[in-house]
Amino acid sequence: MISAQEALQRLTEGNRRFVSTLRNSEQLPVRKANLVSEQEPFAIILGCSDSRVPAELVFDQGLGDLFVIRVAGNIVAPSQVGSVEFAASRYGTPLVVVLGHTQCGAIQATIEELQQPAEDQSRNLRSIVDRVRPSVEGLLQTELRHDLKTLTAHAVRCNVSVSVSHLRYGSPVLEQLIRNGGLQVVGAEYSLETGEVHFFDGV
């Protein structure tokens, strides 16, 4: 298995191809057949469910390259932690990327809920909002509350950093892999406007 730094470099190069529309062509039937009995994903991506941010396309990777977990707001709940633990332990995947994105709907919904609470919000949606809430509440106490666009941009990055921290320090399994196994957990933001991914936490 490659190192975390090599995995990060592959993602960076893949995103460059995606931005420049130079896709990496591969023989899909051959690759598919080779993955029937085993897989060796080189990176774990915990990303948002937003339809505009499919990790395999954003990083120009193929079948078997990425272990992708998608949930609104790229939040970290027990099932997401367990999925990351599974891939990192079972496959020796060296890199975890928490991938947020600009104009995130889950962030915007949380801001709206904190500013004007809904009376009939479903408990399932509220569970997502409650996970994002710590990333937004503090920012609403600053001058950013007067500028929704800037507030949202800051909240997206803050939310990514909270999820990164949760993975680094909220799982004994991952803590041990980071300490002894070379696992690296980083944050990143995908720009809907440009297609570029910026790595910014733990790189």
Detail the residues annotated as belonging to a binding site for Zn(2+): 48, 50, 101, 104
The binding site comprises 48, 50, 101, 104
The Cα 159–Cα 13 span in angstroms is 25
- What ranges in 46-138 are assigned the alpha helix state H? 55-58, 78-91, 105-115, 123-137
Which distant-in-sequence residues (6+ apart) come within 8 Å of 155 by Cβ? 107, 110, 111, 132, 135, 136, 139
Secondary structure (3-state) at 197: strand
Within 35-104, where are the H helices?
Answer: 55-58, 78-91
